[in-house]
Amino acid sequence: MLRARIIPCLLVHRKGLVKTVNFKEGKYVGDPINAVKIFNEKEVDELMIIDIDATVENRGPDFKMIKNVAVECRMPLCYGGGIRTVEDAVRIINLGAEKVAFSSLAIENPSMLKEIGSVIGLQSVVVVIDVKKKKILKGYDIYTHNGKKKCKLKLIDFLGELNSIGIGEVVINSIDNDGKMEGYDEELIAFVRDYTDSPLTVLGGAGNLNDIERLIHKYKVIGAAAGSLFVFKGKYRAVLINYPNREEKSKLFKTI
């Protein structure tokens, strides 16, 4: 089994970092470079940065921003947002990122993932799946464009397609739990875990380290990702970049 990782997920909006609740109400939490410098000091396992404007604005990646972040970053970096071509992905990897993440492209043109993987390696290709619970029936709907565009593709079918490609990693993100800090959606995790062959990272809802410990030990995921948990502190959600120290992490991983 791959070693589990604890991953801060940072959202870039209009050049700054924001944190959302249910993909809405983005609160400014700081400058990307300053956040990366602090996470360096805290010896973060991996960092995920998503430009949430790129696809919505129908533009490509902000390569200048990616370069600046990658130069500062001393941990593995995953970048997502606006990547549409093999050339985009190669350029981002060459700038220093270890992984590139896809959402809408993976649904609109999954064959492109295979093409990109043939050049940079499928282990570097990550698919982020943003989902909401169905309002009436059981199950989940997939959304893109910051939760604004509902997809007709069924989650179980999409996971099967990603399995056939041999994708490097799946990140499942609960829009319903986003930013609430009330815990991960365990029903969603159990479902996706049963239907994906890829290493799984879970995002959306972590409120404390106990949530991460439970996620890693009960569901054997390889990635516990969070946003609010690592940028807010206390019941008033004061902005404070934080991350478990070595002692705290050793306790989280003690039975793995």
Lowest model confidence (mean pLDDT) among 100-114, 151-165, 213-227: 213-227
State the Cα–Cα distance between residues 97 and 73, nearest whole angstrom.
Answer: 9
pLDDT at residue 111 is higher than 80? yes
What is the average per-residue pLDDT within 18-35? 94
In one-letter notation, the amino acid at residue 164 is S
Q: How sure is the predictor about 79, in pLDDT bands with cuts at 50, 70 and 90? A: very high
Average pLDDT, the chain: 95
Give me the count of residues in the chain. 256
What is the average per-residue pLDDT within 83-109? 97
What is the average per-residue pLDDT within 208-216? 94
Q: Which of 130, 178, 185, 211 is catalytic?
A: 130
The pLDDT assigned to 128 comes to: 98
State the Cα–Cα distance between residues 74 and 77, nearest whole angstrom.
Answer: 8
Among this protein's residues, is 130 annotated catalytic? yes
Q: How sure is the predictor about 235, in pLDDT bands with cuts at 50, 70 and 90? A: confident
The pLDDT assigned to 91 comes to: 98
What is the average per-residue pLDDT within 6-14? 97
In one-letter notation, the amino acid at residue 28 is Y
Reading phi first (left if > 0) and then psi (alpha if -120 to 50, else beta), residue 219 is in: alpha
Domains of the chain with bracketed CATH: 5-252 (3.20.20.70)
Q: What is the distance of C-alpha 110 from the center of its chain?
A: 18
Contact 73, 36 (CB under 8 A): yes
Q: What is the pLDDT of residues 36-70, one digit of tens each?
A: 999 999 999 999 999 999 999 999 999 999 999 99
pLDDT at residue 1 is higher than 70? no
Percent helix, strand, coil in the chain, to 5, is 35, 30, 35
Q: CA 178, 184, 190, 196 torsion: positive or negative? A: positive
The pLDDT assigned to 187 comes to: 96
What is the average per-residue pLDDT within 102-116? 96
What is the average per-residue pLDDT within 85-93? 98
Which alpha helices (DSSP H) does 109-185 contain, by range? 110-120, 155-165
The pLDDT assigned to 121 comes to: 98
